[in-house]
Amino acid sequence: MKHLLVKQARALAFSLILLAVTSAGPAAAEVIRSFDADIKLRKDCTLDVTETIKMDFESASRHGILRWIPCRFRRRLGSYSVDLKVASVSDETGQPYKYTVSRLGDDINLRIGDPDRTVSGMHLYRISYTVRHAINFFDNEPEVYWNVTGNESPFATDWVSARFHPPAGVRLSDIQSTCFVGPPGSTRRGATSRKGDTIVFTARALKPAEGLTIVARLPAGSVVKPSPWQEFLWFWQDWWPLMAFPAGTCGLLFGVWWNTGRDQGGGKPVSVEWNPPKDITPAEAGTLVDESCDMTDIVSTVIDLAARGFLKIKEVGAGANFLFLSNKDYQFTKVAAPAEEEAKLLAHEKLFLSGLFRAGENVRLLSDLKYKFYRDLPAIRDSIYDRVVEKHYFLTRPDQVRSSFQCVGVTLMVVGLLFFVLSQTALAGGTFLSGLIIRLSARAMPARTGEGSKKLHELLSFQRYVRLTEKKRIEVLAKDDPAIFGRLLPFAMVLGVADKWAEAFHDLLSQPPDWYQPAGYGPGYVFSPGGFVHDLGGAMNTMGSTFGSGPPPTSSSSGAGGGFSGFGGGGFSGGGFGGGGTGSW
């Protein structure tokens, strides 16, 4: 964002200066009389650049000049940086000027002159700097593609020249060279000549926002390519946010999880317990096990209420009310329970019953709840979450913990996309990946308390019992408690062992629980615990889809990878490295 604001401010300043220059007449028009650049390519791929700028302020009163040169460029796959260091700034006699160097956005900015005095008329500024990481390679052939003057100057330039010195031992006849003149994208060629061991590029009468760009392709072996280590350092310089941000995020998240996201008192071996805890409902149990109150946990409340005698469930034909690929509908009948049992109902159970049966109703079809019951779900879910916190199974509601991390993660992902729009590719990638990691880690961040871990251990012990139990043990339990199959079935469902629970009762039961009447129940009906659990599982799926179905939507009528090359790929003014512009202050 800062980079974008800088560009916008510079564009505004450029427009104002250009307006002033073109409207003030000859007496006040500043102009660059000459811009001469001396560019030497070292064997180690370093460029030594000396710019000699003759600035005619004419009658204008100025402190000096501004010179800005980009050091970060946009490539097809992201950003690419060069290392530019200013060595000196002096006048024609070699006397140093006062100057400051700053980094603003993608540019190195030089402010040359004394803020305590003003100048006018003709002045010469000689700027020397070195540039690393500014050579492209094509089939091992090094290429210098350098924007000498930049295309952002608000002043006209009478004369531009650039002298290119290749490394020692490279013959000029082996170098392909050309130059381009004009605004950005121009393919108009400038003049190129060879003098001694130097290639000279020239242009004259440049208008504001026009520049000179030179291209020199040297034979392979003319310079020493950077080492893999140096390439890695340059790559790291350009792309470190893409690696450092996610790594730092992982480290920070691990620290947060270690301190607040681990279960207290966890890690105990799972024993075998034939009965689930007595002081927990199936909905609370399912929420405690996976730290999430999903639809299976909520629907288990219907089965649990039926098993405890508050309602009965009957399969009926779907008729015209086709329910989510099911050919069955379900009838709920409210049963008057003793007052002492009614008093034991928890908040989420009362909300469930009031959602099933409106005032004065005792019978309700599941199909009647389609597009209606969804309004009751948020309050039921909140009540279950609040309950597991009240019972000190969690210090904080796990859904709120997850939401907090997901919110931070999504926010960072959006910021990453914004950076991408602003062409800050490495920063965009690093920020987006950090946000994605935070979002994906949200499920691991809720933590159970010591009491919650203890209760989880008891539930997992019952789960293990169901998986490992022996037939003889089940026979004893069924004899002592004939209703145990239906009573504990909701717990087996939320723990994912309903099929094993039904298998354990095979040949032990001949009738379904008294709270559930399957379709076709009557004389000649053959009951199978496995078939019953399968049908009940389908019923729960249909109930979950129906309970969660909102109103149908209303219809609407609205309908370092690549580089720069001046040869083969087609060159143009303003491309390559270098660039920027020259102004005054």
Proportion of the chain above pLDDT 90, given as a percent: 40
Please give the pLDDT value at position 415: 93
Distances (CA, A) of 108 to 83, 151, 240, 289, 563: 10, 15, 20, 57, 21
- Does residue 163 contact residue 37 with C-beta atoms inside 8 Å? yes
Please give the pLDDT value at position 111: 93
Please give the pLDDT value at position 246: 92
Place of tokens 């026009």: 210
Please give the pLDDT value at position 25: 40
The Cα 463–Cα 456 span in angstroms is 10
Q: How far is CA 564 from the centre of its chain?
A: 30
Positions in the chain short of pLDDT 70: 1-28, 74-79, 234, 238, 266-274, 318-327, 423, 524, 552-576
Please give the pLDDT value at position 319: 54
The Cα 533–Cα 503 span in angstroms is 10
Please give the pLDDT value at position 6: 43
Please give the pLDDT value at position 9: 47
The CATH number for 2-226, chosen from 2.60.40.1730, 3.40.50.720, 2.60.40.10, 3.90.650.10, is: 2.60.40.1730
The Cα 513–Cα 504 span in angstroms is 16
pTM for the full model? 0.62
Nearest CA-CA partner of 424 in 81, 78, 133, 80: 78
